[in-house]
Every structure is written in C-alpha cells, then in structure tokens.
Amino acid sequence: MWRFLHVVAIGALIASAAYVYSVKYQTIYASEQIVKTRHLIDKERDAIGVLRAEFAHLIRPDRLQALADGKLDMRPLALSQIVAADELPEPAAKVDSIGRKLESLGLLGQSATPSAGVGGATPSPR
C-alpha cells in the first residue's frame, strides 16, 4: 500500500515538474515572441514613416502642379467656374435619340425583334 502511494507520489512529482518546465519554457518562448513582434512593429512603424514621407514628397503641391501643367489638358480653376448648386440650370429632358433616328429612317417597327415584354422597350417621345 505504502509502496503504491510512494510510486504515485513520485509519479505526481515528476509530472508536476515536467508541467512546470513546460509552462516555463512556453513563457520564455512567448516573451521572446513578444519581443520579436515588438521589433517587427517598430520596423513596420519605421517603414510606414518612410512611406508617409515618400508619399508626402510625391504629392507635394509644386510637383503636382508641374505634372498637371505638363501632362494634363486642363487649365487652372477660374472663379467664374464656381457656382452654387441652386444656380445650376435644370437638366434637359431625356430624349431617346437612337429611337428617333430609327423612326425618322422608317426602321422602327419593321424589325422582327420580339418585344422585351410589357413596358420593356423605351417609347420614343414625340
């Protein structure tokens, strides 16, 4: 009986020791991972800083202006081009110009194309 208890106790001791060791090594591993990740984060942060600086350098206004002047077929904004939304004219009524063209050519209705169903085709306004 006692012998059995001894064996159990020794077994428990060894098992707990092994567990403690594994926990300890996991902790060490995890803390190493944390340090590594921190380094990676620092590195990424530095890289982001470099990229931001590069981006800011690329979008600096004098460079953009030189590019726009040289490559785009556009002109600087004139004050007359700025208008309030309520000053804009009403959009013109939509016209089915293709339908009208077909009608004026007498082609409308002669084709054998089946109707797309009720209300499917755009009726041409007269």
Q: In this structure, what DSSP letter does residue 51 have?
A: H
Check if the beta carbon of residue 74 is closer than 8 Å to that of residue 68: yes
Straight-line distance from the first to the last Cα atom of the chain, in angstroms, rounded to the nearest whole number: 110
Question: In this chain, which stretch among 9-17, 27-35, 71-79, 112-120 interacts with other proteins, using CB under 8 A?
Answer: 71-79
How far apart, in Å, are the Cα atoms of 78 and each of 41, 74, 87, 121?
47, 12, 17, 43
Separation between Cα atoms, residue 45 and residue 54, nearest integer Å: 14
Per-residue binding string, other proteins, 23-62, x by CB under 8 A, is: ----------------------xx--xx-xxx-xx--xxx
Instruction: Report the nearest approach of other proteins to the CB of residue 39 (Å).
Output: 12
What is the chain's Cα-based Rg? 39
Q: How far is the CB of 109 from other proteins (least distance, A)?
A: 51
85 makes contact with other proteins (CB under 8 A): no
Contact call for residue 109 and other proteins (CB under 8 A): no
Q: Does 74 bind other proteins (CB under 8 A)?
A: no
| Residues lying near other proteins in the complex (CB under 8 A) | 45-46, 49-50, 52-54, 56-57, 60-62, 65, 76-77, 79, 82, 84, 87
